[in-house]
């Protein structure tokens, strides 16, 4: 994505207090770090830039050690580092050169990415964690991440353009001779390059990340594809691309009004899953009448066992869903009893 689009993405992520770290990947010098600093200044937010590649061990992240004496007992402690004190109550923690992280630091960095904390240093919900990495080149050595670390963030590819650079220079009042240079020599400015993003698998954690960033996708739809791939990987994205297929499944209201039009036995398993998720959302938000209760109960006569299992799991913990089903219905209660026996094994 263009650096200007990346800026909009970050602004939206801050607005929605996104928990999942977003890591930009792009060639050195294109403005990844400066964009974060600009956003922080424009939104009046504290910002700590932590250059991970320059840290040698965990002690470099924990701060300066000192000895506290309590009578005859001497205890070694760390003074909170400046990177933490600046943003512990809110702001931006920017982890630069993430993929130059030393192997001995990966567990510590994963704790920051995953839990927004490092040892006893806990970041508030008002602090967003972001990062950047440069792709490996002959001049730039990187360290491979373990899959567990990659799974903790969303990576997006970022590039710059002459138009963006020129716009930035003019709007920030740069010296006219520099602006002239950009306009004349723009085609030689290094603004793009090969960026291989870390590959993620299609996992439950990725789905939680996708749920987390859904408001950003709504705000900045042009970044949807990159964020989806960054959250659930290429396989998940392949399923996402076929979202038009989901539209064939009726809404809860449409199904309940025209039940005979949609024989559930003709539905694929995933279509049944989608339908019952929509019906459960409907039940949670509306008062179900007797006719709807009958329709929902009859639906449970015919759905596949995996789908009925989902319904019963949710009903067991949600009174509204439970109340929308008639457990005195013989066929339904018999099926439910069999499912509960399986679930207890």
Task: Give tens-digit pLDDT for 216-273.
Answer: 999 999 999 999 999 999 999 988 887 777 778 899 999 999 888 898 888 888 889 9
Is pLDDT above 90 for 279? Answer: yes
Would you state the pLDDT for residue 345?
57
User: Nearest Cα to 51, choosing from 95, 87, 82?
Assistant: 95
Task: Residue count of the chain, please give it.
Answer: 345
Residue 252 CA: distances (Å) to CA of 130, 255, 267: 39, 5, 15
- Measured in degrees and rounded to the nearest 5, phi and psi for residue 94 equal -110, 115
User: DSSP secondary-structure letter at 153?
Assistant: S
* Beta-strand pair 47-51/91-96: parallel
CATH topology of domain 3-159+195-241: Rossmann fold (3.40.50)
Is pLDDT above 70 for 324? Answer: yes
CB 84 within 8 A of CB 121: yes
Residue 116 φ/ψ region, left for φ over 0, alpha for ψ in the -120 to 50 degree band, beta for the rest: left
Would you state the pLDDT for residue 265?
87
**Percentage of residues in the chain with pLDDT exceeding 90?**
39
Beta bridge mates, 70? 73
Burial status of residue 152 (CB atoms within 10 A of its CB: 0-12, 13-18, 19 or more): buried
How many Å apart are CA 274 and CA 257, to the nearest integer? 17
Residue 279 CA: distances (Å) to CA of 72, 185, 289, 327: 67, 59, 14, 17
Would you state the pLDDT for residue 82?
85
Would you state the pLDDT for residue 338?
82
User: Nearest Cα to 291, choosing from 253, 262, 320, 318?
Assistant: 253
Is pLDDT above 80 for 144? Answer: no
Domain ranges of the chain: 3-159+195-241, 244-344
In sequence order, what are the residues at sequence separation of 6 or more whose Cβ sits closer than 8 angstroms to the Cβ of residue 325? 293, 296, 297, 300, 311, 315, 332
Structure tokens that stand for 298 in this block:
């009859």
The per-residue b/e assignment along 311-344, b for 16 or more CB within 10 angstroms, e otherwise, is bbebbeeeeebeebbbeebeebeebbeebeeeee
- The four Cα atoms 321, 324, 328, 331 give a dihedral, to 10 degrees, of -80
State the Rg of the chain over Cα.
Answer: 26
Would you state the pLDDT for residue 54?
81
User: Nearest Cα to 213, choosing from 171, 299, 155?
Assistant: 155
Tens digit of each residue's pLDDT (9 = 90 or more) over 27-44: 888 889 999 999 999 999
34 alpha carbon, distance to own chain's centre: 22
Which of the four pLDDT bands, split at 50, 70 and 90, describes residue 171? confident
Average pLDDT over residues 159-171: 87
User: Nearest Cα to 49, choosing from 59, 37, 67?
Assistant: 37
Is pLDDT above 70 for 48? Answer: yes
Tens digit of each residue's pLDDT (9 = 90 or more) over 50-84: 888 788 778 788 877 777 777 777 777 778 888 88
Would you state the pLDDT for residue 316?
87
């Amino acid at each position: 994505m263009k650096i200007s689009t990346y800026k909009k993405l970050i602004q939206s992520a801050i607005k929605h207090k996104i928990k999942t770290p977003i890591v930009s990947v792009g060639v050195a010098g294109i403005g990844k770090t400066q964009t974060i600093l600009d956003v922080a200044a424009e939104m009046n937010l504290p910002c700590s830039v932590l250059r991970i590649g320059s840290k040698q061990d965990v002690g470099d992240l924990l701060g300066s050690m000192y000895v506290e004496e309590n009578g005859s007992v001497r205890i070694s402690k760390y003074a909170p580092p400046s990177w933490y004190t600046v943003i512990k109550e809110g702001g931006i923690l920017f982890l630069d050169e993430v993929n130059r992280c030393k192997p001995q630091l990966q567990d510590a960095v994963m704790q920051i990415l995953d839990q927004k904390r490092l040892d006893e240093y806990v970041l508030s919900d008002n602090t967003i964690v972001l990062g950047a990495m440069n792709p490996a080149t002959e001049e730039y050595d990187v360290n491979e991440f373990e899959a567990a670390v990659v799974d903790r963030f969303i990576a997006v590819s970022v590039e710059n353009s002459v138009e963006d650079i020129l716009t930035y220079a003019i709007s920030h009042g740069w010296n006219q001779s520099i602006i002239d240079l950009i306009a004349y020599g723009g085609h030689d400015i290094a603004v793009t390059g090969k960026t291989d993003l870390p590959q993620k698998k299609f996992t439950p954690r990725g789905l939680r990340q996708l749920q987390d960033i859904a408001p950003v996708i709504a705000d900045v739809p042009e970044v949807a594809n990159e964020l989806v791939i960054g959250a659930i990987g290429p396989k998940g994205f392949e399923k996402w691309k076929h979202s038009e297929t989901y539209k064939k499944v009726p809404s809860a209201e449409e199904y309940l009004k025209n039940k005979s039009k949609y024989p559930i036995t003709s539905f694929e398993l995933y279509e049944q899953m989608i339908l019952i998720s929509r019906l459960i959302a409907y039940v949670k938000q509306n008062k179900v009448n007797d006719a709807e209760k009958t329709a929902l109960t009859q639906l449970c006569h015919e759905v596949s066992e995996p789908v009925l299992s989902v319904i019963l799991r949710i009903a067991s913990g949600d009174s509204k869903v439970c109340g929308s089903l008639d457990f005195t219905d013989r066929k339904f209660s018999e099926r439910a009893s069999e499912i509960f026996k399986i679930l207890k094994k």
